[in-house]
Amino acid sequence: MPNLIFRLKTAIETGVMDETLLPEVLEEMLELRKRGNELETVLIMLVRKGWPWQENGEPNEILPNCKDGYASAIVEAKELLGLGNRSMITRTEPPT
């Protein structure tokens, strides 16, 4: 993506358009929109299920009802966020 942005910016500044650039930009935009929609779906699932722990770390009454769905939503979110992959976003992991 950073390469595409640089190439697009250069094309705009110079007025010279590479014919392969626009299809690549379109493909990247569509992929980002798809991932955004998937992340929104996972976030909606997490919000609807609620947080299954109290502030002191003890499970609350919804834990037994959402254990499977909550865990799978977290795994799916982790995969969609690409936490195991390199990203343009600099992430700082919270202390554990």
Give Cα 52 to chain centroid, integer Å.
Answer: 22
- Say if 16 falls within a structural domain: yes
- Domain hosting residue 24, numbered range: 2-81
Whether 55 is covered by a domain: the verdict is: yes
Domain contains 88: no
| Per-residue pLDDT reduced to its tens digit, 13-36 | 999 988 888 899 899 999 989 988
The set of residues, in sequence order, having a beta carbon less than 8 Å from that of 39 and lying 6+ positions away, is 77, 80, 81
Specify the pTM. 0.52
Give domain status of residue 93, yes or no: no
CA-CA-CA-CA torsion sign (25, 28, 32, 33): positive
In angstroms, the CA 81 to CA 71 distance is: 15
**Burial (CB count within 10 angstroms: exposed 0-12, middle 13-18, buried 19+), residue 62:** middle
In a domain, 65, yes or no: yes
> Does the residue 91 lie in any domain?
no
Q: Report the number of distinct structural domains present in the chain.
A: 1
Instruction: Dump pLDDT digits (tens) for 35-70.
Output: 888 888 877 776 666 666 777 777 777 777 666 776
